Amino acid sequence: MGQGALTKERIFQAALKAFALHGYEGARMDKIAAEVDINKATLYFHFKSKEDILRELFQDIVLKYRDKMNAIVTGCKDMPCKERLKTIYREYLEYNLDNAEMDFWNRIYYLPPTNLREEIISITSESKKEFVANLACIMEEGIKQKELQQMNPSHMAYTFYNILTCIDLSSGLMSKEQALLEMDNCFEVLWNGIKGM
Amino acid sequence: MGQGALTKERIFQAALKAFALHGYEGARMDKIAAEVDINKATLYFHFKSKEDILRELFQDIVLKYRDKMNAIVTGCKDMPCKERLKTIYREYLEYNLDNAEMDFWNRIYYLPPTNLREEIISITSESKKEFVANLACIMEEGIKQKELQQMNPSHMAYTFYNILTCIDLSSGLMSKEQALLEMDNCFEVLWNGIKGM
DNA sequence: GTCTATAGGGAGATAGAC
DNA sequence: GTCTATCTCCCTATAGAC
């Protein structure tokens, strides 16, 4: 791996920060270059265009996210239901809060460049479906084991997921500690609604 | 009210659309002028700057939102608890889904122009607190009436609010009908967790 | 109040030397 | 692979006529 590959990786990191902080339109190629401490023109040796940087970055981050989610779900597969859900809940939050990659995703999802809009929304939707499907399996298992109520597992999974994703909306309004605390409270309310009698 | 006031209102509407669709950075003054069918220079007779349009627009929208939320909460104050929460839930969603003003708010909240960042986050945070406080009162009342469980009313309110706000995240991924349906399911799960025994 | 014209400053991207 | 220099376009904002 030569110098080039290293530079490309550093461009990735700088671009991630820039897109997360300022969005696609607001991110500036010259600022990214300055952050990497290379000339602006050098960016165009490594990437065809600004849009190209975004596309590659997005694909990378989606893959990492998917791997992480699968690892979280798998890592706790032998726990009893409540403990398992709580573990997923906490690890999801830990991964998302103060994570530049998730900031990036949220911002790019909200204001995608027109050309990539369809692709970004579609991939985001897929990713959500996959995670909710995983959760639904866990709910189904919990019902079988009588740890959960006889309810529609998809509805339970979707509700669980909704509460989780709200950290993305709220976390900018409070500290990470505060967010985790509030989320713990939400978990207890939710658990109360789905646990077996 | 002369021609000027009318033009200003039309600029507001066009700017709202532009900011909601493209964010602050992405919105273009010439496109806004074209939409209003006036010359670009005329914008600067009615507003000092682009930032100025955003500021006035944001303040207007926050006021309308606050009024609407208060109207929703007040309009159902004589209902029993479940019906009241369900009404708030539905009316909140109806107001938010497919509402350009709320799109605008979400996008501006996620990527505010640097100069207005603090102000926008602070106002958004206040607005949330106010709504959650209203909800907490309703929960407290419901507990008194034995319609709800003996739980911390703030936690219940916060959980309720979190599920609500997720429409903002999810509504871009599905149709309005689909979103309302999924939200109905979430409401039932939530209600199950807070209702009295 | 609204227009034409243009200032003035970036922005993304490229050519070509080293 | 990285640089200097530059092109070209686009955007916000203003000057000044009507």
Q: B145-196 pLDDT, tens per residue?
A: 999 999 999 999 999 999 888 877 788 888 888 888 888 999 999 999 888 7
User: Interhelix angle for A176-194 vs A153-170, to 10°?
Assistant: 160
CA distances from B124 to A65, A182, B2, B24, B73 (A): 29, 18, 34, 17, 19
Q: Where are the domains of chain B?
A: 1-47, 57-194
In Å, how far from its chain's centre is CA A170? 14
Band of pLDDT at residue B1, cut at 50, 70 and 90: very low
The string of pLDDT tens digits covering residues A42-79 is: 999 999 999 999 999 999 999 999 999 999 999 999 99
CA distances from B32 to A22, B38, B110 (A): 22, 9, 22
Report yes or no: B145 and B81 within 8 Å, Cβ to Cβ. yes
Using the structure, give the distance in angstroms from the CA atom of B139 to the C1' atom of D4, rounded to a whole number: 67
Which CATH architecture best describes the domain A54-194?
Answer: Orthogonal Bundle (1.10)
For chain B, give the mean pLDDT: 92
The string of pLDDT tens digits covering residues B53-80 is: 999 999 999 999 999 999 999 999 999 9
Q: Which residues contact B196 (CB under 8 A, 6 or more apart)?
A: B142, B146, B147, B148, B149
pLDDT at position A183 is 87
pLDDT at position A3 is 65
Strand C contact residues in chain B (39-58), C-beta within 7 Å: 39-42, 45-46
The string of pLDDT tens digits covering residues A88-115 is: 999 999 999 989 999 999 999 989 998 9
The string of pLDDT tens digits covering residues B77-93 is: 999 999 999 999 999 99
pLDDT at position A72 is 97
pLDDT at position A4 is 66
Does the distance separating the beta carbons of B128 and A186 come in below 8 Å?
A: no
- CB atoms near residue A88 (< 10 Å): 22
Domain B1-47 top-level CATH class: mainly alpha
Q: Which residues contact A166 (CB under 8 A, 6 or more apart)?
A: B162, B163, B165, B166, B169
Query: Is A189 at the interface with chain B, CB within 8 A?
Result: yes
Strand D contact residues in chain A (26-65), C-beta within 7 Å: 37-42, 45-46
Please give, rounded to a whole number of angstroms, the shortest distance from the CA of A2 to a CA of chain B: 37
Which CATH architecture best describes the domain B57-194?
Answer: Orthogonal Bundle (1.10)
pLDDT at position A160 is 93
